[in-house]
Structure 1
Amino acid sequence: MSELACIVRGSGPGLLLAHGGGGGIQANYGPILDGLAERYQVIGPDYPGTGGTPRATEPLTLDGLADALVEAAGEEGVETFAIAGYSLGGPVAIRAAVRHPDRVTALVLTASFAHPSARMRLATRTWRKLLDEGDPPRLAAFLALIGAGASFLDRLSAEELEAMLAGAAATVPPGTPDHVDLVEAVDVRADLTRLDIPTLVISTTEDQLATPYHHRQLADGIPGAKFAEIATGHLPFAERPQEWLGLIRAFLDEVHR
């Protein structure tokens, strides 16, 4: 796997970010990066095919991606760290914690999953088909419907919705097909009971992609996991960024107290 481009900010306890499929550090964490960097040394690697990282020449694997993120933190001189994993970043974070238990101190898993349900696979296969068809406006419309919460979309004006769709259609990372393929392959259910670190599962209650069914499966499977809810769809960084930031900081502050 090619070396991952990183955003590095702040000082304090280490915090490694794992972003979602078809996203990126700026796309998924941009609205809360400054707030996180006020308290932690944040390391945000972009997966292959996003940000400044070239697209992979071979299929992505969960082990390979988890190891690459941990290596990226080490290259920045951060030896121990919590991991905040969003969407696909959740199973990446879980696998990193299982493979590198001496490095990972805590987990925050938002809008995430241990294994895609049949419904989620239907959504990701439709996503993948739209990527192959090369129709960005149609893809953007589909992702808005399954990504954003209904209450968020309902509040948008027609002009705001069109601007949102145009932005989404113009910013599809080239590595997105590889990320979506990896989502299909994810299965960390056997890893959950092996976790022995503080963990917070944040459920996005209006999520139509990784639904609350998946969030509860994570929380029920991880020993001692804490559970919190936020009234958004799959895009907390767009819908309620300050509330999301507050949940992450409150949990990590308690871990480091």
Structure 2
Amino acid sequence: MTTERTLPHPRLDVLTRGSGPALLLAHGAGGGIEGNFGLVLDDLAADHSIVGPHYPGAGGTPVATDPLELDDLADQLAASAVAAGHQRFAVLGESLGTAVALRTATRHPERVTSLVLTAGFAVADPVLALTAELIRTLGRAGEWSAVARLAVVSCRSPEQLATIPPAALDDAVARAAAGMPPGMLDHFDLVSRVDVRDDLARVAVPTLVVAPLGDRLVLPESSRRLADGIPGARLAELPGAGHLLSEPDRAVWLRLVREFLAGNA
């Protein structure tokens, strides 16, 4: 028997758009709703009600005064959706957002109807763990330009990096720096502590796992382990795609997601 968990008062800044079945978005570390989902927001909002909460230190949500906790974020995401008028919803998570989405599904199983997990992980793999540690070390030292350079290298696939002319690298770094939210170090601190391995077998809703095979930040094997651990999960692989999906890769992702959601409405 499932006992409905009491939701907290919602306190996150939330982007809402569209109408139709509810889609709750869980963004990644050092990102936001527009940064992670901007290429597809208008398309998804054409026939879905988008609810996009921003973690502390992203969007309009103030920076946290205490370390972020996964349970609290999961409860806040669910509370944001309910406050927007949606008692049940699918959850789309990317990167850190996959762990938030999974925890939302296991803490609020009566509300979550399906999951889409992209570039995800149950626990930080060695590449992600070392990168998160380096980002926090550089950020605490005020070396934000170095953090931005690391982001450019980590979040693009080898194929994407090969197409950037040397003269355009500084622009890419500047864009990465401009997109980093105030709560970035808090987000990556949580990345280093996430462990939802015990949640996987408890997921009882249809799940699509999308693995970008050119991901240099979260190893594709981490996505495969998610799919292996979640009962009945479907795995879709994006050859050559990086951690942040390019416009062509996002178009493929959108087709996969739309087909999955249509089959699990």
Structure 1 length as normaliser, TM-score?
A: 0.96
Structure 1 segments, 4+ long, off by >4 Å, are: none
Which is worse superposed, 225-234 or 62-71?
Answer: 225-234
Deviation at 1:238, TM superposition (A): 5.3
- Aligned runs of 1:74-85 on 2, under 5 Å? 74-85=82-93
Shift of residue 159, structure 1, vs aligned partner: 3.8
User: What's the counterpart of residue 14 of structure 1?
Assistant: 22
- Shift, 1:86, TM fit: 0.3
1:53 aligned to 49, 56, 61, which one?
Answer: 61
State the match for 2:233 in structure 1: 225
1:3 aligns with 2:11: yes
The structural deviation recorded for 1:239 is: 6.1
The Cα of 1:237 is off from its aligned counterpart by 5.0
Rounded to whole Å, the distance in 2 between the matches of 1:154 and 1:133 is 30
Task: Report whether the alignment pairs 1:126 with 2:134.
Answer: yes
Q: Give the counterpart of 1:202 among 210, 217, 232.
A: 210
| 1:96-135 correspondence to structure 2 within 5 Å | 96-135=104-143
The TM-score with structure 2 as length reference comes to: 0.93
Aligned to 1:141: 149
Distance 2:10 2:188 in 1: 19
Query: How far is the alpha carbon of 1:146 from its aligned partner?
Result: 1.3
The answer as to whether partners of 1:31 and 1:237 remain within 8 angstroms in 2 is no
Q: What residue in structure 1 maps to residue 3 of structure 2?
A: none
* CA-CA distance at 1:162 after TM superposition: 2.3
Residues 148-176 of structure 1, C-alpha deviations (whole Å, 9 max, x = no match): 11101111223433222111112321101
SS at match of 2:57: coil
Aligned equivalent of 1:44: 52
Equivalent position amino acid for 1:104 in 2: V
* Superposition RMSD in Å: 1.4
Indicate the larger mover: 110-119 or 159-168.
Answer: 159-168
Percent identity reads 46
- Unaligned runs of 5+ residues in structure 2 are 1-8
Q: Distance in 2 between matches of 1:159 and 1:7?
A: 35
Mapped pair 1:235 → 2:235: no
Cα deviation, 1:111-161, whole Å, max 9, x if unaligned, reads: 010011233211111111111121222111111111111101111223433
Tell me if structure 2 keeps the 8 A contact 1:153–1:161: no
